[in-house]
Amino acid sequence: MQFISELLTRLVNITAVPAMAGVLGTALLLLVSRDWRLNILALAAQYFFVMLLMTRTVRVEMAAVKGLIGWVTCLVFYVTEQQAHVAMRSGDASETLSLEPWFRARLEGWRTEGISAQAAFSFMAAAVVGVAALALATSVPLPEVSTGLALVCYLLSGFGVLLLGLSDEPLRVGVGLLMFLSGFDLCYTALEPSLIVTGLLGAIMFVVALGTAYLKSSETVTGDGAALQ
């Protein structure tokens, strides 16, 4: 355990900037992409990067707990989307769950159709939020955290709110809420590094994931769900 802890601490020191870039990249992907598989992978990766950044302010064990909670919510989203996808395509016997054709189809889609208007708009809105976050991080520094970490907090929270504003689909709203909470959590753990606060914030994240998954599943049952991709 001691070894793993030391290893993670060294990893954090080396990877602070890549972790920040990772958070930004995954947040952008979550904003722009409409592909649920890609989004869940991006969310899981984002929790890993957030966990790495969190170890700069709290103990490794506590950051690991937060990462674990995040991955459980990803699992909830994955199962829900999988069920919805299967239910919506139940008539299509040719449907396969192989990764390679799916990835090839995505690449082909991007090559032939280019970026959609919606994705372009999301990207531009993200750029505006990014500039605002940069300005806030320098003009309104957050207590007990470095400027770099404050920038990540503002970015995550801003992108989360943006996703809430741009989406009406339950799981995307859920992802937006979780991103917003992650951003806040990152700075708040530096102020209140209590285990019970960590537990309660984690429980809120889990209940949000559960609630949005329930709304999504009821949408699937009524056949009201829009095409996922």
Partner 1 sequence: MIAGLILFLILPVAVGALVYGFQRWGRVVVVLSVGVTTALGVAIVMLPLGRTVTLWGRQIVMGGSVSFLGRDLILEDADRIAIAFLYLTAAAVFALAGQASSRRLIFPVGFGMLSLLSGSLLIRPLIYGVLLLEMAISLSMLALQVEGAPHSQGVLQYVSFSLLAMPGLLLVQWLMDRYAVTPDNVALRETAVALLAFSFAILLGSVPFHMWLPSMADDGDPFASAFVLTVNHGAIWFLLLAFLEAYPDLTTHARFGSLVSGAGIAMVGVGGVMGAAQQRLGRLMGYGALIDAGVGLVAFSVFSQQGLAISLLCLLVRPIGLVLMASGLAGLRALGGRDGGIERLCGVARQAPWSTLAFVAGGVSLSGLPVSAGFAGRWALYRALSPAQLTSALIMMGGSVGLMTGVWRSLSVLLVREDRPSEEIEGAAAAGERGRIKAIVVALFVAASAILGLAPQLLAPIATRLAGLYTFFAP
**Binding partner 1 by CB under 8 A: which of 70, 130, 158, 176?**
176
Task: Report 52-71 residues binding partner 1 (CB under 8 A).
Answer: none
> For tokens 């960590």, what's the residue?
198
**Least CB distance to partner 1 at residue 26 (A):** 20
| Choice between 12 and 172, CB closer to partner 1 | 172
Under the criterion CB under 8 A, does residue 219 sit at the interface with partner 1?
A: yes
Q: Does 184 bind partner 1 (CB under 8 A)?
A: yes
Alpha carbons 72 and 7: distance in angstroms, whole number: 24
Encoding tokens for residue 48? 């890993």
* 79 touching partner 1, by CB under 8 A: no
Q: How far is the CB of 17 from partner 1 (least distance, A)?
A: 26
According to CB under 8 A, which one of 67, 180, 182, 189 is a site residue for partner 1?
180
The string of DSSP letters for 122-179 reads HHHHHHHHHHHHHHHHHHSPPTTS-HHHHHHHHHHHHHHHHHHHH--SHHHHHHHHHH
151 binds partner 1 (CB under 8 A): no
Cα(60)–Cα(66) distance, rounded to whole angstroms? 10
The pair of structure tokens assigned to 130 is: 């990014």
41 touches partner 1 by CB under 8 A:
no
DSSP string, 40-61: HHHHHHHHHHHHHHHTTTS-HH
Separation of alpha carbons 82 and 189, rounded Å: 33
Nearest distance, CB of residue 209 and partner 1, angstroms: 9
Which of 204, 227, 228, 229 forms a contact with partner 1 (CB under 8 A)? Answer: 204
Candidates 13-21, 31-39, 56-64, 174-182 — which segment interacts with partner 1 by CB under 8 A? 174-182
> Can residue 201 be called a binding residue for partner 1 (CB under 8 A)?
yes
Site for partner 1 contains 107 (CB under 8 A): no
* Binding residues with partner 1: total (CB under 8 A): 34
User: Which H/E stretch holds residue 14?
Assistant: helix 2-32
List contacts with partner 1 (CB under 8 A): 143, 157, 161, 164, 168, 170, 173, 176-177, 180-181, 184, 188, 191-192, 196-197, 200-201, 203-204, 207-208, 210-212, 214-216, 218-219, 221-222, 224
